[in-house]
Amino acid sequence: MHTFTAKLKKLLRDTLLLYWELLKIMVPVMILVKLAVEFGIIEMVGNAIRPVMQWVGLPGEIGFVWVTAMVVNIYAGAAALLTLLPEHPLTIAQATVLGSMILIAHSLPIELRVAQKAGAGICFTCGLRLIGALVYGMLLTTLYSGLPEFQQTAQVVFLTVSPPAQEWLPWAIGSIRTLISIFWIILVLLFVLNLFDLLKITGFISRLLSPFLRLMGIGEQATAMTMAGTLLGLSYGGALIIKEARSGNLPDKEIFLSLCFMSLCHSLIEDTLFVMAFGGHYFGLLIGRFLFALIVMMGLAHAVHRLPALTFRRYLFHAD
């Protein structure tokens, strides 16, 4: 009983700490997005990015959400989405497309720098993530266009999304309700992650995915670090890769391929569960995204392993 109480207290403490960190990101972003709506900036950005968003079946205004996630992080993108959802509701298909694109391309200033410090060329990894997100978004849009059940309005889980409010006071009250409901997402998310660790599911997933890494040209030495990034996040896995890259224990091409895979498919559990709360479908957000990354990486590995060392180092990899 004492152990259970201690674990419950730790869960609540971790939830409150993470929730506070998210509030420090989300509250300013929500206010800035509201101001951007008031001054017509959202509409301007929407018009500018509309042609690109049309490729993936999304309204131009929702492109602002993806831009926010790319420049800041997933949680800032979520804050922008929560502010825009009342006036721009999404279908299940659209929520899946947007969520998948955010999962592939987000936090670019930080995560591209992590990959660069480990040796990967920043221009290549940036292009890989942006083009990968758009191509995958177009594939999902094509797939879901023929499935009527995915054209229904996405149901946001655990969240209170208020109707459109023009006045600041109703908007503030609605936003506070939404932010309070975010707490329950974080609590459930951390509970699931702890349960996965307790039942050794995380380790099982890691072992299950390991054979696929060999198809991508990633050897056994880099497997543990790649799986750390795949399951927990690029910053964490990238930090391990940086350490190993500087130790000289891994071939440069394996380091590069590992970083490319983590760029396309990382934080497979935590970020995916968070994004699923906004009404996206698990197949596109998780399974399809992993299969897409696998196919891209198989082709990339085939090309990289045949590149002359001089060309590889000149254009793709710059070891410290």
Token pair listed for 255? 């380091």
Residues 6+ apart with CB under 8 A from 169: none
Higher pLDDT, 15 or 299: 299
In Å, what is the CA distance from 234 to each residue of 37, 63, 124, 288?
Answer: 32, 24, 16, 19
CA 104 to CA 134: how far, in whole Å?
A: 9
- Please tell me what DSSP assigns to residue 120: B
19 in Cβ contact with 186 (< 8 Å): yes
Cα 313 to chain centroid distance, Å, stands at 28
Residues 6+ apart with CB under 8 A from 241: 118, 222, 225, 226, 229, 255, 258, 259, 262
* DSSP secondary structure, 228-251, as one string: HHHHH-HHHHHHHHHHHHHHT-S-
Residue tagged 């290549």 (tokens): 124
56 in Cβ contact with 106 (< 8 Å): no
Higher pLDDT, 143 or 15: 143
Residues 6+ apart with CB under 8 A from 140: 56, 93, 96, 97, 100, 284, 288
Higher pLDDT, 101 or 250: 101
CA 255 to CA 69: how far, in whole Å?
A: 26
CA geometry: angle at 43 spanning 148 and 31, to 5°? 100
Phi, psi of 313 (to 5 degrees): -70, -30
Span 189-246, pLDDT tens digits: 778 778 877 887 777 777 787 788 888 888 777 777 787 778 777 766 666 667 777 7
Residues 6+ apart with CB under 8 A from 224: 240
Crossing angle of helices 2-38 and 41-55, in 10° steps, is 110
User: What does the domain layout of the chain look like in residue ranges?
Assistant: 2-315
Token pair listed for 61? 């205004």
Span 35-84, pLDDT tens digits: 887 888 878 888 888 999 999 999 998 999 999 999 888 988 888 898 88
Span 116-152, pLDDT tens digits: 888 889 999 999 999 999 999 999 999 999 899 999 9
Q: What is the pTM of this model?
A: 0.86
